[in-house]
């Protein structure tokens, strides 16, 4: 639940554009111009998920399928790929074939985001690829809550030190729940990738549902959520019925 504070200095337009993810190892800045994209899609009308599971396995989808806790015939799919072309080629083809083509698409739950670094990670491969994928595929993480969030624009006007204090509060929350094995989080940036102008996508994953709800409840008290968020949700709540092999 950590993220990079916004830069306060104007960009130098005389320098080549640098878009690589940054980290730090041994006091030196490291970079990796790669990241993992993730797409969440929800459907109704899926009374029996076995055919969907078979199709996902046959196509080698890297992700998970969840049974919707709020819809007795609902499912939610998280699919991942380094190359975003995957979502408009291979995955698009899969979702336009049976059994998915016969299901009812729920566009209100559409989410597309990308992994990112915050500048201090010593292993960018671990941060951007291995760790988020491991959380999604880990059979211990049976329950999931996926949702987008939109930050108030005035957050970007705060001094960098103030932003860091606000983000550290969320980082502490993530560490406490993670240390006890109660909840893990997958956080994705979705700037310019979301039809509702959301900024981030969050996946809360864990063995039980109550701690995931408790995380959201405790987040309400933080300065970021109480003062600098414009919206949270909609929330998709589901239990994993299939996860790609580790």
pLDDT in tens, 70-85: 999 999 999 999 999 9
Domain assignment present for residue 60? The answer is no
Domain assignment present for residue 117? The answer is no
| DSSP-assigned beta bridge partners for residue 143 | 206, 239
Domain assignment present for residue 194? The answer is yes
pLDDT-based confidence at residue 151 (cuts at 50, 70, 90):
confident
Domain assignment present for residue 199? The answer is yes
pLDDT for res 28: 95
Q: Which of 111, 13, 8, 94 lies closest to 51, judged by CA?
A: 94
Domain assignment present for residue 5? The answer is no
Q: What is the pLDDT of residues 62-115, one digit of tens each?
A: 999 999 999 999 999 999 999 999 999 999 999 999 999 999 999 999 999 999
Domain assignment present for residue 40? The answer is no
| DSSP-assigned beta bridge partners for residue 163 | none
Question: What average pLDDT does this structure show over 122-129?
Answer: 97
The answer for 113, left when phi > 0, alpha when psi is -120 to 50, beta otherwise, is beta
pLDDT-based confidence at residue 8 (cuts at 50, 70, 90):
very low
C-alpha span between 216 and 235 (Å, rounded): 11
- Tokens encoding 127: 């941060």
Residue 75 phi/psi, 5-degree rounding, is: -140, 160
Helix (H, G, I), strand (E, B) or coil at 245: coil
Domain limits for position 145: 140-243
Please report, for residues 17, 103, 125, 126, the alpha-carbon distance to residue 121 in angstroms, rounded to integers and kept in the order given: 21, 41, 10, 9
Domain assignment present for residue 100? The answer is no
| DSSP-assigned beta bridge partners for residue 198 | none
- Vertex 219 angle, CA 216 and 220, to 5°: 95
Give the H/E segment covering residue 151. strand 143-151
Distance of CA 75 to the CA centre of its chain: 17
pLDDT-based confidence at residue 170 (cuts at 50, 70, 90):
low
Helix pair 209-219, 160-179: axis angle to 10 deg: 160
Residues 6+ apart with CB under 8 A from 28: none
Q: Measured in Å, how far apart are the chain's first and last C-alpha atoms?
A: 23
Alpha carbons within 13 angstroms on the beta-carbon side of residue 113 total 26
Domain count, the chain: 1
Q: Is the pLDDT of residue 18 over 50?
A: yes
The domain spanning residue 209 has which CATH number?
3.30.70.1030
Domain assignment present for residue 225? The answer is yes
Q: Which of 137, 117, 113 lies closest to 205, judged by CA?
A: 137
Q: Are 140 and 67 in contact (CB under 8 A)?
A: no
Share of the chain above pLDDT 70, in %: 94
Using the 8-state DSSP alphabet, how is residue 142 labeled? Answer: -
């Amino acid at each position: 639940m950590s993220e990079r504070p916004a830069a306060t200095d104007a960009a130098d337009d005389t320098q080549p554009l640098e878009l690589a993810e940054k980290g730090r190892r041994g006091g030196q800045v490291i970079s990796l111009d790669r990241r993992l994209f993730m797409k969440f899609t929800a459907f109704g009308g899926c009374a029996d998920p076995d055919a969907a599971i078979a199709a996902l396995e046959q196509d080698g989808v890297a992700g998970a399928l969840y049974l919707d806790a709020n819809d007795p015939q609902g499912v939610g799919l998280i699919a991942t790929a380094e190359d975003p072309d995957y979502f408009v080629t291979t995955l698009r083809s899969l979702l336009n074939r049976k059994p998915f083509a016969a299901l009812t698409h729920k566009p209100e739950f559409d989410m597309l985001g990308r992994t990112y670094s915050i500048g201090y990670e010593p292993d960018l491969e671990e941060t951007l690829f291995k760790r988020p994928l491991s959380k999604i595929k880990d059979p211990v993480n049976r329950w999931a809550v996926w949702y987008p969030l939109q930050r108030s624009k005035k957050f970007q006007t705060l001094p960098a030190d103030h932003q860091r204090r606000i983000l550290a509060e969320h980082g502490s929350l993530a560490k406490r729940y993670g240390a006890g094995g109660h909840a893990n989080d997958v956080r994705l940036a979705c700037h310019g990738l979301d039809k509702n102008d959301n900024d981030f996508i969050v996946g809360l994953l864990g063995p039980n549902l109550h701690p995931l709800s408790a995380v959201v409840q405790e987040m309400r008290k933080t300065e970021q959520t109480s003062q600098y968020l414009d919206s949270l949700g909609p929330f998709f709540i589901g239990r994993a019925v299939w996860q790609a092999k580790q």
